[in-house]
């Protein structure tokens, strides 16, 4: 039995057509990002929909995102939250995040998203210092790879038992399975090893997008 299914463009288009149910603002934001020089940093609509489903499955009301880019993932999560749900969105680039904010407004979810433009470790440490450990339901990490371990550790402290962390790019184009030639690859390899041995979590590494790790706090 085959261990994987080769995903060419035809099959991927089929998956999108038969699975993805985008809000018009999501589709418009993807279109607005398509011409961006770093458009490849945006998650696919299939991954956005999976994250929205996970948010609903864990009954999330308080979420954190580290790495916003143009805001598609934040929009996906915010749409899945109840009206009084909140997403703390962490980034350092006001030019990138400004692209997405009109679409958050268009979708009627801007009130659910608090954007903090500051180094994410600083923001997470501030949340911990404010006594918010154990209060977060869902976290998504998709920022600078060499800081992933620091982000994960802080998110685990902020997460409640049964809460979920989703970590993007954990296959890194397949390079994690080969001798590392960059700091990013080495950081992801170390993280994957650490998570595999971490008894505080339940774990699954999925071959979706560029690799998506799901870690549930026990």
pLDDT attached to residue 6: 82
Task: Determine the Cα–Cα distance for residues 92 and 185; give it in Å rounded to an integer.
Answer: 22
pLDDT attached to residue 7: 87
pLDDT attached to residue 4: 74
**In the chain, domain spans:** 9-217
pLDDT attached to residue 195: 98
Looking only at Cα atoms, what is the longest distance across the chain?
51
pLDDT attached to residue 2: 60
What are φ and ψ of residue 38, in 5° steps?
Answer: -110, 35
Task: Determine the Cα–Cα distance for residues 158 and 196; give it in Å rounded to an integer.
Answer: 20
pLDDT attached to residue 5: 81
pLDDT attached to residue 210: 95
Q: Taking Cα atoms as reference points, which of 128, 73, 116, 113 lies closest to residue 92? A: 116
Are the CB atoms for 44 and 118 separated by under 8 Å?
no
Per-residue pLDDT tens digits of the chain, which is 218 residues long: 566 788 899 999 999 999 999 999 999 999 999 999 999 999 999 999 999 999 999 999 999 999 999 999 999 999 999 999 999 999 999 999 999 999 999 999 999 999 999 999 999 999 999 999 999 999 999 999 999 999 999 999 999 999 999 999 999 999 999 999 999 999 999 999 999 999 999 999 999 999 999 999 99
Task: Determine the Cα–Cα distance for residues 31 and 114; give it in Å rounded to an integer.
Answer: 24
Architecture of domain 9-217: 3-Layer(aba) Sandwich (3.40)
């Amino acid at each position: 039995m085959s261990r994987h299914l080769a995903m060419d463009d035809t099959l991927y288009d089929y998956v999108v057509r038969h699975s993805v149910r985008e809000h018009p603002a999501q589709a418009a934001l993807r279109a607005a990002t398509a011409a961006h020089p770093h458009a490849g940093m945006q998650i696919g609509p299939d991954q956005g929909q999976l994250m929205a489903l996970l948010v609903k499955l864990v009954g999330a009301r308080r979420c954190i995102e580290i790495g916003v880019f143009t805001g598609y993932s934040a929009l996906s999560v915010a749409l899945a939250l109840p009206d009084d749900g909140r997403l703390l969105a962490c980034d350092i680039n006001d030019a990138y995040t400004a692209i997405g904010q009109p679409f958050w407004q268009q979708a009627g979810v801007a009130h659910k998203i608090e954007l903090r433009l500051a180094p994410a470790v600083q923001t997470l440490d501030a949340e911990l210092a404010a006594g918010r450990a154990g209060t977060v339901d869902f976290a998504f990490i998709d920022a600078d790879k060499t800081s992933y371990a620091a982000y994960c550790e802080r998110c685990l402290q902020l997460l409640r038992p049964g809460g979920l962390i989703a970590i993007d790019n954990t296959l890194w184009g397949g390079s994690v399975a080969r001798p590392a030639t960059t700091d990013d690859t080495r950081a992801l390899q170390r993280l994957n090893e650490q998570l595999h041995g971490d008894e505080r979590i339940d774990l699954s590494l999925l071959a979706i997008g560029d690799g998506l790790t799901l870690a549930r706090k026990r």
